[in-house]
Each structure stands twice: as C-alpha cells, then as structure tokens.
Chains A and B, each alone.
Chain A
C-alpha cells in the first residue's frame, strides 16, 4: 500500500511540478520511452550504476539530490555554484538547454527540445535508484 502511495506521490509531484514550472499542461512522462531516450542521448557519458562515473557522473539516484553532489565526480564550478536541486522544474529547464541554464557546465549538449521527451526522460531519471 505504501509503495502505491509513494508512486502516486511521485507522479502527482511530477505533474504538479511541470504545471508550476512551465505554466502549461504537462503529462507525466513514460519511463520506458525515457529509458530509450537515455540510451540514445545520455548513455555515452552517463552510467546508471551508483558510483560509476564516465565522462559525466552516474545518474543513479540523481532525482531529488542537490546538483553537483554525486561523489567521485569533479563537477564544474558553474554547476557547483548554481545551487540547484534536481527536481522536475530544474531538470526540465536544464535538459532543454544545459548551457543556457548553467553557462560553463561540463555538459556540452545542445538540449532536448520536446516537452514530452523531457517528461519521459525525467520519469526515467526519477526511476533510477541510488545506493
């Protein structure tokens, strides 16, 4: 029962976060579609195994954590000083245009333009567990 409540809370939070952050109607993302997106767009640099850094840090358990807090990775000064917490709103903005959101971030990625695809990817990131 608790598991269902947790899941409902996450999806409610996602939807609410999307609405609050963008002021428009957002649908909760599709985790499976997000996993596919992750493989094509992110996996070359990011692992999903805790503690396994590649070119970028592991994204296991990243959702809900302060930005630049993953152990074992040397983050850019820009991201360290951005004082972000990775929630729906911040991930949505960052994934849309990393260099616009945090100029000087080490993630040279042009961005994910589709609202729906960002929702899918965020849903997948939410599903990644930390330790």
Chain B
C-alpha cells in the first residue's frame, strides 16, 4: 500500500503539471487579457505586434478597473560561475566564485486603471538580492486615446515613467534590450552611457503618438522630459544617492514600422541630452552629455516558431566643461559608443536561442577609466567586446499547470565571453587580469506568478 502511495503521488503531481490550462502566462497582463504569454512576447521580454499594440494603447485591452488579477510577482534565481574568481567576492557577502543567488524578486501591478479613458499602468518594485535592498523598478503609467489625423488612425498618449526607453515598443533600446537577464554578480565594465545610467534615478512625463499612415506602416514619435529624483526621495525609493543633473533631461524617440504577413521591420532613432554636475557637486558648472542612437528590429512570427533580430548603436558625446578643469577627466571632450546586435529564435513556444554581440568603445581617458584591480582600466580605454549565448526553456509559455494557470517560467543558461575588457584582452586592469577571466556562465530560473 505504501509503495502504491509513493508511486501515486508523483504520478498525480506529474499529471497536474502536465495538464495545462489555456490562456494565462505573464500574470497581470495575461490575467487581464486572457491571453497566453506568447500572444505578447517572443520569449521574454520581446514584444510581438499584439504586445506592442497592447502597450501603445495604455495596457487597457481586456481590462476595466484594478482587480486582484492585476497584481503579480516574479523571482529570478540562479548560479553564477566566472572563469576566474574575484578576490574579495563577486559582491559584498558573496563568495569569490560559484555563487548561488536570488538576484531579484519583484511585485507588479500591470493593466488597466480605468479602461474607459485608456488609463493603465505597469509598476514594478524589486527586492535586489545582491544589494540586499528594495527599490522601485520600472514605472510606466499611461493614458492613451484613439483619434484620427487626416483620415489616418492615431493612438496618442501621455506617460509618467522613470527611465528613458522604458516606454519603448521595440526591443533594441536599453530598458528592454539585451541582455534580457543580466547577472548582477558579473564584473561590470567601466563605461556606461547616460541613457542607461539614468534608469530609475529620474521621473518624467512624456507624450507619444503612433500614426498608421497605411494599413501596414506606422510612424511613432515620443518626447519625454525627466528630472532627477531629489536625494531623499532617491534613498527612500532605494536608488540613492541622487544623480546630480541640472535642469530637465529631454529624451526623444522616432520610429517607422512596416508590417507584412508574419513579418515586421522597424527602424528608429532615439536621443537624450543632459547636463550633469561633476561628481560630488550639486550646483555650479555642469558637463554636457548627448546620446544619439539608431536602432532596427526585424520579426518573423509564426505559431510554432519565431525569429527576431535587433541592432542598436548609440553615440555619446561628452563635453567635460566642468569636470575637466577639476582634473576629473583627462580630456575636455570624449566620446563613448555602444553597438549591440542580437538574434533570437523561439521554437514550439518552448525552446529559445539568443546570440548577441556587444561592443563598447570610445576615447581613452584615464580620469574616467582609471586603473584598479578587476574593475579598472590600465590604459584608460572603455573598449569592451563580448559575445553572449543564451539557451532558454519555457515550460508554460502557452499556459501554466491547471492548478496554477497564471504561472510562467524561463529556465536559462547564459554564457558571456569577453574578447576585450576595459581596453585590453590581457592585463586590462594593470594587475594581471585578462578579459577572459570575466567570462561568465549564469544559469537559473525566471519565475512569474
């Protein structure tokens, strides 16, 4: 009898897990729309045409007012292996290599706030399991309305959000671009552009419009104006200290999308300008940073498989009018560029492969990129080249187990190989560390429910 029970329990469990329920996945949005994750996403977080329209139209499709189904949670846990250990630990309270971690646990509100006027939101709060603190994460509250312009259908809207490009409909720009699952325990390279660095440290308002100039061609434009969070607010929201930037920070986005049959292609441009104070200052002269980018995306989506590719190039012009006189930079003017090329395949809504090439290059400046063990640059160069491969398995992309239909998961293995790191392939930090020492294998699970 006992043997029968031992056999029956796992069989029953398997049966429950095997019997999937239709039309649930990314919990809040899926529960609202009644659609599976695959309706809006190629894997995660890449948006399908349906997902783009859903976001464009204010997250209200299928919803009315907030309900318990609009709340969801997510957790990302995994194992990190570096080619060579990091003396002192991968992060405070973490070992020097081979580390298990629950990197982030998030709660969400997603969906309609009041559908009759097109008001909806995506709000995320995250507990960072590496930094051991809670912080606000992606925020996008938008009001979207349909109208017509010269007999062309238009969706226009207004947004309150906290990161340049978090509002984006395509998946090349930084907020939703590759890497889709960054490892917080990786050794970070020395350089970062403003468009990425400002995420969650600012709050802005914006407006956007999407005009369908033909049935298959859309013109999208967006302008946002951001202000940095005050220091006490930044700390209260878990993202302190403040980023010290004078005045408002304009961000703009323009994109053209052409769709035909199962295909869509997008080309666009984006940009940002800000005037940060030198480190340690919150008044006085400022530097002037300008980001100008171009992106493109192609998608081919069929029920049983999908292919997508993205390209993003961003050039940052750096005028150190304030920092250079202080000796904080080596040059008065610098540049910093990034290029990211990504290609993905998703088969049977279960198996995903993504390949990505990323390069960061720009002016040598020993003031910006100083020599330091592991994280520094011996020659003052930001040059970093890497190749990333990601293999994914989605057990529930078209619906979770019958007992838990809104759950979705992504089991992943991600390997990044560095060809150059902070300027060199070998002895990049002046302390004998090679770029390949930072090669990283990250495997784990991304679970939403």
Contacts and interface: CB of A to CB of B under 8 A. Distances in A.
Q: Is chain B's interface secondary structure helix, strand, loop, or mixed overall?
A: mixed
B285 interface: no
A51 interface: no
Contacts of A113: 148, 151-153, 212
Interface in B125-180: 146, 148, 151-155
B60 A103 contact: yes
Contacts of B61: 76, 99, 104-108
A99 B49 contact: no
B66 interface: no
Given A103-B60, A104-B60, A113-B153, 7 more contacts: A40-B261, A55-B50, A97-B153, A99-B60, A108-B53, A108-B57, A112-B215
B53 A40 contact: no
A40 B154 CA distance: 19
A91 to B, nearest CB: 16
Contact of B115 (A39, A40, A78, A117): A78
B56 interface: yes
B62 interface: yes
Given A44-B262, A76-B62, A78-B115, A108 B50 contact: yes
Contacts of B60: 99, 103-104
Nearest to B24: A74
Contacts of B117: 103
B146 A100 contact: yes
Interface of A: 37, 39-41, 44-45, 54-55, 74-78, 97, 99-100, 103-114, 117
Contacts of A78: 62, 64, 115
Contacts of B282: none
Contacts of B216: 40
Contacts, number: 84
A104 B64 contact: yes
B41 to A, nearest CB: 12
Nearest to A104: B115
B35 A110 contact: no
Interface residues of B, number: 38
26 contacts: A39-B261, A40-B215, A40-B261, A44-B49, A55-B35, A55-B50, A76-B61, A76-B63, A78-B64, A100-B146, A103-B60, A103-B118, A104-B61, A104-B112, A104-B115, A104-B116, A106-B34, A106-B62, A107-B61, A108-B54, A108-B57, A110-B153, A111-B153, A112-B153, A112-B215, A113-B152
A104 B70 CA distance: 14
A76 B351 CA distance: 30
Interface string B85-125: 00000000000000000000000000010011110000000
A111 to B, nearest CB: 4
B330 to A, nearest CB: 51
Contacts of B115: 78, 103-104
B146 A106 contact: no
A106 B57 contact: no
Interface of B: 23, 33-35, 39, 49-50, 53-54, 56-57, 60-64, 112, 115-118, 146, 148, 151-155, 210, 212, 215-216, 218, 260-262, 301, 303
Nearest to A105: B61
Contact of B63 (A55, A97, A104, A117): A104
Contacts of B301: 44
A117 B146 CA distance: 19
B23 to A, nearest CB: 6
Given A99-B146, A103-B115, A106-B62, A74 B34 contact: yes
A106 B64 contact: no
A41 B112 CA distance: 25
A73 to B, nearest CB: 8
A93 B35 CA distance: 25
Contacts of B148: 113
Contacts of A108: 50, 53-54, 56-57, 61
Contact of B39 (A40, A55, A77, A110): A55
B35 A106 contact: yes
A110 B112 contact: no
Contacts of B53: 108-110
Contacts of A45: 50
Contacts of B262: 44
A46 to B, nearest CB: 12
B62 A103 contact: no
A40 B215 CA distance: 9
A104 B62 contact: yes
A112 B153 CA distance: 7
